């Protein structure tokens, strides 16, 4: 479960034709710095060290590198087999980050398997214009629910706070040392509850290499204010894996480009993207070393009314 420390609108969807074909990889600034460290699972074991792997993975996101790789195919010869992406598929993948940015704020859900029968699910909202997210987390073990609360995160780390109960919201008090608690109803959206929790009510920390932290760190940086370079995506190993339907809509399943150090030479990228015909991103999965179940990120629609709090937490 998340570890706690002491508290101290819809613009048009871009089209593939809008993608500049001569953009540089440096056009997409990424500032991710995944934290090191690891945490013991309930079984008493210790996660493999992943800090270097995560830095390489988050640094690439969906931006390709200029070194080597296969050229983008213009035609499809075998729809049933894994293959390099076509020009159209690379263009839509390149647009997916820009489309997320333009759709902000967006509803998201993250599911992470922490090992030992423990899983964590976060449901919330991310605004890619300020790279912040807020939501609720639920931790479940083999015997049932273990923990729940509010969670906020940005590019530097995350913060946790107790979820206000019905009695707390009604009385307007948050208990000793927490200041006034949320005046929002217990069933109010997480972003409404979070903006009423005082700074001292949050337990902040930097990112670790655990699956949930890696997923949140990746998630908050997926949106960008410009498209990626589609030629570099194809040259860096992006591959078409198949086509799936989610909620009645068709999506291409695409393995992202390979980041140096994040996948062995010739191996598939740990990141897989589900992209629709307009370059809309619906799902991303991240395979973690030592875990059989990937961390999953879902994008479930726009949340135009959401107003994320002005960083009431301190991270890092």
Write down the residue that tokens 């337990």 correspond to: 203
CA distance 11 to 229: 21
Residue 265: per-residue pLDDT: 56
User: Cis before residue 105, ω within 30 degrees of 0?
Assistant: yes
Residue 262: per-residue pLDDT: 54
β-strand partners of 135: 124, 151
According to DSSP, residue 258 is labeled P
β-strand partners of 302: 106
Q: Are strands 271-275 and 239-246 parallel, antiparallel or unpaired?
A: unpaired
β-strand partners of 296: 111, 285
Evaluate whether 54 touches 214 at the Cβ level (below 8 Å). Answer: yes
Q: Is 21 helix (H, G, I), strand (E, B) or coil?
A: coil
How many residues in total does the chain contain?
Answer: 316
Evaluate whether 183 touches 172 at the Cβ level (below 8 Å). Answer: yes
Residue 190: per-residue pLDDT: 92
CA distance 142 to 123: 21
Residue 100: per-residue pLDDT: 96
Concatenated DSSP letters of 91-153: HHHHHHHHHHHHH-SEEEEEEEEEETTEEEEEEEEEETTTTEEEEEEEEEETTEEEEEEEEEE
Q: Which of 270, 141, 148, 295 is nearest to 217 (CA)?
A: 295
* Exposure on the CB side of residue 74, measured as CA atoms within 13 A: 0
* Residues of the chain predicted below pLDDT 50: 5-12, 16-49, 53, 62-78, 169-182, 315-316
Q: Tokens for 111?
A: 């599911």
Is the alpha carbon torsion for 134, 282, 70, 52 positive or negative?
Answer: positive
Crossing angle of the two packed helices 211-219 and 51-60, in degrees rounded to 10: 20
Write down the residue that tokens 């908050």 correspond to: 220
Residue 198: per-residue pLDDT: 86
Q: Give the other-Cβ count within 10 Å of 253's Cβ.
A: 17
First to last CA, the chain: 19
Condensed to tens digits (0 to 9), the pLDDT of residues 199-239 reads: 889 999 999 988 999 999 999 999 999 999 999 998 899 99
Cα–Cα–Cα angle for 170, 174, 177, rounded to 5 degrees: 160
CA distance 29 to 234: 19
Residue 164: per-residue pLDDT: 81
Residue 216: per-residue pLDDT: 95
């Amino acid at each position: 479960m998340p570890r706690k420390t002491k508290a101290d609108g819809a613009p048009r969807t871009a089209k593939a034709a809008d993608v500049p074909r001569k953009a540089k990889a440096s056009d997409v600034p990424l500032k991710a710095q995944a934290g090191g460290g690891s945490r013991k699972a309930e079984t008493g074991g210790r996660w493999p060290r992943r800090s270097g792997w995560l830095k390489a993975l988050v640094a690439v996101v969906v931006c390709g590198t200029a070194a080597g790789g296969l050229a983008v195919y213009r035609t499809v010869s075998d729809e049933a087999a894994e293959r390099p992406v076509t020009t159209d598929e690379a263009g839509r993948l390149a647009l997916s980050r820009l489309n997320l940015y333009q759709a902000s704020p967006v509803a998201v859900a993250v599911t992470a398997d922490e090992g030992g029968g423990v899983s964590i699910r976060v449901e919330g909202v991310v605004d890619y214009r300020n790279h912040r997210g807020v939501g609720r987390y639920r931790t479940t073990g083999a015997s049932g629910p273990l923990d729940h609360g509010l969670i906020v995160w940005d590019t530097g780390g995350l913060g946790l706070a107790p979820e206000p109960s019905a009695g707390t919201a009604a009385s307007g008090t948050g208990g000793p040392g927490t200041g006034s608690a949320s005046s929002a109803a217990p069933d109010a959206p997480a972003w409404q509850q979070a903006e009423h929790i005082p700074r001292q009510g949050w337990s902040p920390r930097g990112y670790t290499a655990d699956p949930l932290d890696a997923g949140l760190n990746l998630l908050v940086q997926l949106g960008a204010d410009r498209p990626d370079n589609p030629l570099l995506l194809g040259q860096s190993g992006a591959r078409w894996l198949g086509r799936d339907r989610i909620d009645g809509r068709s999506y291409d399943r695409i393995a992202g480009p390979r980041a140096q150090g994040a996948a062995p030479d010739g191996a598939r990228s740990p990141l897989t993207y589900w992209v629709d015909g307009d370059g809309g991103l619906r799902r991303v999965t991240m395979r973690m070393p030592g875990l059989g179940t990937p961390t999953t990120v879902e994008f479930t629609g726009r949340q135009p009314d959401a107003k994320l709090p002005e960083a009431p937490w301190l991270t890092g």
